[in-house]
A and B are shown apart, each in its own frame.
Chain A
Amino acid sequence: MNFTLKIWRQKDAKSKGGFETYKVSDISEDTSFLEMLDILNNDLIHAGKEPVAFDHDCREGICGMCSLHIDGKAHGPGQGATTCQIYMRKFKDGATITIEPWRSAAFPVIKDLVVNRGAYDQILQAGGFISVRTNSVPDANAIPIPKADADEAMDAAACIGCGACAATCKNGSAMLFVAARVSSLAKLPQGRVEGARRAKAMVAKMDELGFGNCTNTGACQAECPKSISIAHIARLNREFLSAKFED
């Protein structure tokens, strides 16, 4: 398969970026999208040119490192998949593919397709944890948890913090990420204790970092590689508002 790639190139955070066009040829349809970029970079390096910088790590859809806005969609074509899980057979032979970095004021571009997603780490540090003394591992069955609650908490905990929600949202809102973190802990007895403090602290940090407001479009859940539901946003709203009214 042959492709024309329109890729956003930007020297550093302060430089002005722009699109550059590249050709890749003889790509197998079973090549993953990131492997295709590896092939392009190999060609660029052999030609004495600067390779394209892009984020990647586990390449099995669990680390949340790979990003990329491909042909107008976060993580490219298909639903419930990260960029590393996208294969070139998803594209038509001879297609022109536009690749952009995440666009959000809170995710500044570092270089080419790499953005700084440290804002999500800061939100987590504000309250996305439980305070327990580290000691020997407790008995797994010491605190019984209803199956439905455990399932819901695990669905929310599937969030890999990739940033696709804020990158897709027309408001640059991080609500789905914050909601997933709050929800995954709020449904479990260990996390319930600090529920009110967590919701308030994480929303306050999210606002402080310049993320936008949720307008319930549902675009985030449509593009989330882990298909996390906006029902968790409803829970975050409940947690936050009840905490504020209790103050």
Chain B
Amino acid sequence: MFDLILTQTLNGLASASSLFLVASGLSIIFGVTRIVNFAHGSLYMLGAYIGWTLVTWLGPTSGLGFWGGVGLAALLVAIIGVVIEVAILRRIYQAPELFQLLATFGVVLMIQDIALATWGAEDKLGPRAPGFKSFVILFDNRFPTYELLLIAIGPLVLALLWFLFQKTRWGTLVRAATQDREMVAALGVNQRLLFTSVFAFGAGLAGLGGALQLPREAATLHMDLSMISEAFVVVVVGGLGSVTGAYLAAVLIGILHAFGILIFPKITLVLVFLVMAVVLVVKPYGLMGRRPVGAARGTATAEPLLRPADRAAKLAGLVALILLAAAPLVTPDYLLLTLTELVIFALFAASLHFMMGPGGMASFGHAAYFGLGAYGAALAVKWLGAPMEPALIFAPFLAGIAGVVFGWFCVRLSGVYLAMLTLAFAQIAWATAFQWVELTGGDNGILGVWPSHWAVSKTAFYYLALAICAACVVLLRVMVFSPLGYALRAARDNPLRTEAIGIDTMRVQWVAFTIAAFAAGIAGALFAFFKGSVFPTYMAIPRSVDALLMVLLGGVQTVSGPIVGAFAYAGLSEQLMKMTMYWRFTLGLSIVLLVVLFPRGLVGGFLALRERRDRSDKDGAVVTRLATEGAP
């Protein structure tokens, strides 16, 4: 027993090392540039693939060939990092917070297709490392020497990073920028160079992490997404911007994995997220993180004031609604299917926007409530034998109750920490649906969730979806301009002043969180009856990301943005999926282009244009902006 414990500890430490390399790069990039780099897993994957190519080419049997190949791969990935930073990210640093995430997600999609086209579909198992091909006997077990090497590499890199950050001018600047970016800029530091070099450095670490995996794991096309979620967890558990924290967290996660499979072999999927949830609830800024100093000032441009729709906007909304309502009369039947889906997604996006825009609470796990709504409907049908109508009413309450519970924890945090806690809860909900086979059917889902007889026809169901979704979207909009909405925006813009005038900000945010969850649940329930079946994928990470993309693409700080974003994103991806097998590359490229062209989102861009026109017309008579300045 004792030998097993020791060996599993070593196993945990070995897997912690590459996790640490990737996570530390991610953490440094976030610390300095405030970019949530979704493409970091893709850089890790590129490191593995490029490493495989180089090592095979240079000769895997010679030490120079192998280690030279690994080093060169890290260097090449760093250069790719420079290209991404200079070509895309540099243009959008001024965009609202999290907007860059959209661009990096576009990069993820593009790299997936590029990797498939370059290296083909077959997994690439790398050669064993020269000098570390065999094993030693430890505690009566054979233990690979390469794993021992990896165990050593982790602390070694940590020490190097420490030296770099404490003893070099560049490192000092990085630390300074992590603490207070504006101050560093004000002191005349070349930000461009700093940002580019930091991004390249982080990318290089990810590439190194990928290349070092070669002797123990095959390079595959799925390693990008499986790494990124875990790297996020490590960064957040460790504390954003803290490299030592990242190492501690990586070790924690690695060891938990190794022991988790001994005790609960079936919950490996969710274990890391459970741990993250616990850590964030107990230590809101991670193990080694500190309450951010400069971040309170806000890193994005001042957010435009939301105004109730003027006559033109109201008219536009009405026209859009009439067009949608008239659609079944003119469009062929099959287009209605697409429209139904878009209408449901519009509500889903609007519900996320309600907490993210006016509420300032970005969620990385909004699919949880969408999925719970869908499962609520399906479970009501399957276990209670309910017809569609009561199931539709029951379903959102399941999502709403989850919103009450999860929200209570989430509103205690802010920014990326809050977002990651929502992700953790979403993963827990997902794992429950996945694992609780008796109730939910596991990954085989629940089938036969079809609408009542009167709503079976495409037209009838479309009208049902349109009526419910339009009503909910209008209601959400009304709430944005209700006292609750004003309190919510106040809490977002300046919590201290809001508290000072007697508003319980946490309670306001909690209510908003619950409303958003409830609304997402309605969308999910409709989606379940629309598709006729429910699966855990409804609340998996990609669906949360979809919602986030729709809101960001439309524009976070506009009320109609999420609806436009939903139609643009879902419509675009659907059409591209039909048109080309390389839809991921095309979609990714479109996202990147849209992001660079409309750094405030589609509607945000349109409003900015109109604002500029108004301003030149009336010579600045219209006050259109409200500074969100005002750090405590």
Query: Do chains A and B stick together as partners?
Result: no
Chain B residues proximal to chain A, CB less than 8 Å: none
